[in-house]
Structure 1
C-alpha cells in the first residue's frame, strides 16, 4: 500500500495551518494533487508546496481553490488570517523559487546592465536586477522592519527640502512600492506604526509629484494620501494630509472653494491644536481668502496663525531642515505672500523680514520671496525692473525651479497691465516661462 503524504504541523506558522486545511479540503473532495492543480491552474508540485506550508499562495489562486473545493470561503478567510499574522522572518524554504536557471538569468542581467551603466546613470535593467537581487537577500536576512521605514520617511522629509525634487521623485515612488509589498506581512502589534508610515510616505509622494509639475497625478495621489491617513485613525495625521493638499492646490490654480474646504477640514480635525497641520491650514486659508478678495479676513487668519505658531513645540520650530518642521521663516513667508498679493502697505517690510529669516542653503524658498519683491515692483508700475529681477531669480535657480516657484513667477507675469503686454521685456519674460504672448 503506498505511503500517504506526511502530516502538516499547523502550529509551525499560519501558512502551515493554511496548508493543512487546504490538504484536508482537497482530500474531502476526493481529488489528487494532479486533479486539483489544473483548476487554478498551477503545477501540482507547487500545490504540494502550498499544502506543506513551505510556499505562500497567491491571492487569486487561493480564491479559485476555495471555489474549486467548495470550501465556502473558509480557505480564503484562512489565507487572510495568515497574511495578517505572518511575521517578516524569512523561511529557508522560500529559497526554492531561486533555482539555478533563475539565478543565472539574474546574474546575466546584473552583469550586462552593469556594463551598460558604466560611467553613466544606472540602466533600467541593472536597476531592476539590483532590486530582484535585494529581494533574494531579504528572503535570507528578513525584510526591512518598521524602524527602517520610519527612518526612511525621516530621510525623505529632509531630501525634498535639500535636493532637486525631480531627483527625489523616482526613489520615493520606488520606496512607496516597496512599502506596500512589506506591509503585506507585518505583525498585528505593529499595524498602527506601519499605517502612519504609509500615510506619511504617500503624503510626501503627492507633494513631490505636484512640486515637479505632475499636477494631474498629484491630485489623484492626494486622494490616496487622504485615504491612507484615514486608515490610521489619527486625526492629526488626517489633518496633515488635508493641510498639505490645501497648500499645493493653491499653486496648481485649483478652485479657491476647494482650497478652503481642505483647509477647513484640516482645522476641524486638528481642533486648533498647536501642530504643523493647524499653522499650515491657516496659511493656506489666508492665501485663498486673499485671492477671493477678503483681505480683512485673510489678515485676521494670519494673526491666528501667529498665535498658534507661538504654542508650537520647540522641536517643530527649531527644525530648519525637514518638510515636517515649521520654523519662523515659514511663518514670515505666509505674511510676505498674503501682504504682497493684497498690496498691503507693509508688504515691503514683510518681504524684507522673510528674506532675512532664511538660513543658508534654501534657494528655492528664498526665490519665492524674491519673486514677491518682483511682483510688488510690477504692481507699482516698475515693470522692467520687476521683470528683470524675476528673470535673474529664475535664471539663478537653473533646473531647481519647482511648481511653487513657477507659479509665483507666473503671478509676476500676470501682474503686468494688459496695455504693456507688447513691451519687449514682457515678451522676453513670458518666453522664459513658455507662456503665450499676452496671457493674463
Structure 2
C-alpha cells in the first residue's frame, strides 16, 4: 500500500517531537500535528521545508505534489513539473535560448496548417514553461531575447483566439506589446528585433479591429505598425499595408486602396527569403495576392479580384486551409456581385463542405455568413441559398 504524506512525515520525524520538527522547519506545531493526522494537505512550500529539516531526500515533496494512489501518468506529470521548475532556476545558455526561439518559430509555421483549438493547447503549455524562465534574473541580452520570444508567443495566442472568434484575443495583444516594448527598450540602436516584433503585433492586432468592424481604427493601428518598423525589412509593414488596403476598400476608397497595395508590394520586395516563409511571422506573395483579391472584391472590381484570386490559389499549398477558404469565399462574393446568386451560394457550400470540420474556424464562418446576409429577400428561397443557410445553421434554412 502506498505511503501517505501523513505516514511519511511521522516516519521521518522518528523520535523528534512535533515541536522540534516545527522549529526546524519554521512552521507552527499545530500545523505539523494537522499534517500528521491528515486534517490538512501540505503546501509545496511547507512540504519542502519539512523535507529539508528532516533530510527526507524529496520524499515529502513528492507526496505533497502527487498524492498516494496517483496513477503512473499523474506521477510522471508531477515529476516533470518539478524538473521544469528546477531547470528554470539555472543559467539560460545560448542553446537554451536558441531552442525557445526555434520552438516559437515552429508554432508560427504551424498556424498555416494546424486547427486553432489544437494549436492553442500546445501554445499555452509551452508558454507556461517559458513563464517559469521569465521569473528569474538573466543577463540583459538573454532577457531581451526571451522578451521577443514572449511577445511572439502572446501574438500567436492572440491570433489563434482571433481566428476562433474569441474576444479574449485583445488581452493577449496588450500583453504581447508589453513584452515587445521591453525587448525594444533593452535593444541597442543596431538591434531591431524589438521594434520588428512590436510592429508585427500592432499589424496583427489591426486585423482584430478590421474584423470587428472598426475600419478607421484598423487603418490607424496599421499605420502605427508601419511607422514603428520604418527602415526595417520585416513582415510588420507588409501585413499592415495590406490590411490598410482591405480596410480602405471596405470604406470604398479606391485611390487609398491602390496606394496601400503598392506599399505592401514594396514592403514584400524588401523582405529576406526567410521572412517570406509560410509562417504567422512572415509575409508571402500568396498572402499579398489574397489580400489584394479581397480588396478588389470589396470594391466590386470583379476582373481584378478574379486575377488575384487565381494567383493566390496557385501559390497556396493545399494545407493552407484558412487562407484558401477565404479566397474561395471571395470568389463566391464576386459571383454574387455579377448577379449569379445561385452560383455564389453553391460555391460557398462547396468550399465549406470540402473544409475539414476542425478547420471551419469562426473567421471562415463569419465570412460565409456575411455572404449569406447579402442575398436579396427575393432570392432567399433558391435551393442553393437554402442549402447555404442550412450549412451555416442560420434562420431560413427550412422550406
Q: Provide TM-score, normalisation by structure 1.
A: 0.70
| SS across alignment from 2:283 | coil
* Alignment-derived partner of residue 149 in structure 2: 197
Q: 1:187 to 1:392 in 2, by over 3 A?
A: same
Listed one character per residue, the Cα deviations across residues 39-86 of structure 1 (whole Å, up to 9, x for unaligned) are 9x999xxxxxxxxxxxx999xxxxxxxxxxxxxxxxxxxxxxxxxxxx
Q: Confirm or deny: 8 A CA contact 2:113 2:321 kept in the other structure.
A: no
In 1, Cα distance between equivalents of 2:309 and 2:149: 36
Q: 1:381 to 1:113 in 2, by over 3 A?
A: farther
How many residue pairs were aligned?
343
Q: Confirm or deny: 8 A CA contact 1:370 1:390 kept in the other structure.
A: yes
Q: 1:163 to 1:281 in 2, by over 3 A?
A: same
| SS across alignment from 1:181 | helix
More moved, 269-278 vs 281-290: 269-278
Q: Confirm or deny: 8 A CA contact 1:379 1:416 kept in the other structure.
A: no
* Alignment-derived partner of residue 212 in structure 1: 164
Deviation at 1:431, TM superposition (A): 3.0
Listed one character per residue, the Cα deviations across residues 379-405 of structure 1 (whole Å, up to 9, x for unaligned) are 212111111111111111122122332
* Alignment-derived partner of residue 59 in structure 2: 100
The 5-angstrom pairing of residues 320-331 of structure 1 reads: 320=278, 322-331=279-288
Q: Confirm or deny: 8 A CA contact 1:375 1:415 kept in the other structure.
A: no
Deviation at 1:306, TM superposition (A): 1.3
Deviation at 1:111, TM superposition (A): 5.3
**Pick aligned residue for 1:230 from 170, 181, 185:** 181
| SS across alignment from 1:274 | coil
* Alignment-derived partner of residue 10 in structure 1: none
* Alignment-derived partner of residue 312 in structure 1: 271
Deviation at 1:242, TM superposition (A): 0.3
**Pick aligned residue for 1:244 from 197, 201, 204:** 204
Gaps of 5+ in 1: 1-32, 44-55, 59-92, 115-125
User: Is the aligned partner of 1:281 residue 2:232?
Assistant: no
The 5-angstrom pairing of residues 2-401 of structure 1 reads: 99-104=58-63, 112=71, 114=73, 126=74, 130-138=76-84, 145-189=96-140, 190-214=142-166, 216-233=167-184, 234-251=194-211, 253-271=212-230, 273-317=232-276, 319-320=277-278, 322-344=279-301, 345-399=303-357, 400-401=359-360
**Pick aligned residue for 2:387 from 404, 418, 428:** 428
In 2, Cα distance between equivalents of 1:376 and 1:232: 44
Deviant stretches of 4+, over 4 Å: 36-39, 93-98, 104-111, 139-144
Q: 1:96 to 1:206 in 2, by over 3 A?
A: farther
User: Is the aligned partner of 1:407 residue 2:366?
Assistant: yes
* Alignment-derived partner of residue 187 in structure 2: none
In 1, Cα distance between equivalents of 2:53 and 2:26: 20
| SS across alignment from 1:326 | coil
In 1, Cα distance between equivalents of 2:63 and 2:225: 53
Q: 1:384 to 1:150 in 2, by over 3 A?
A: same
Q: Confirm or deny: 8 A CA contact 2:112 2:321 kept in the other structure.
A: no
In 1, Cα distance between equivalents of 2:69 and 2:251: 56
Q: 1:419 to 1:113 in 2, by over 3 A?
A: farther
* Alignment-derived partner of residue 49 in structure 2: none
Listed one character per residue, the Cα deviations across residues 237-284 of structure 1 (whole Å, up to 9, x for unaligned) are 211110011124323x24112211210110121126432000100011
Q: 1:351 to 1:140 in 2, by over 3 A?
A: closer
In 2, Cα distance between equivalents of 1:334 and 1:340: 10
In 2, Cα distance between equivalents of 1:419 and 1:225: 47
Deviation at 1:335, TM superposition (A): 1.0
Listed one character per residue, the Cα deviations across residues 162-198 of structure 1 (whole Å, up to 9, x for unaligned) are 2112101112112222211211114224111111111
**Aligned Cα RMSD in Å?**
3.3
Q: Confirm or deny: 8 A CA contact 1:110 1:130 kept in the other structure.
A: no
Listed one character per residue, the Cα deviations across residues 137-160 of structure 1 (whole Å, up to 9, x for unaligned) are 346666673223212101211222
In 2, Cα distance between equivalents of 1:427 and 1:360: 28
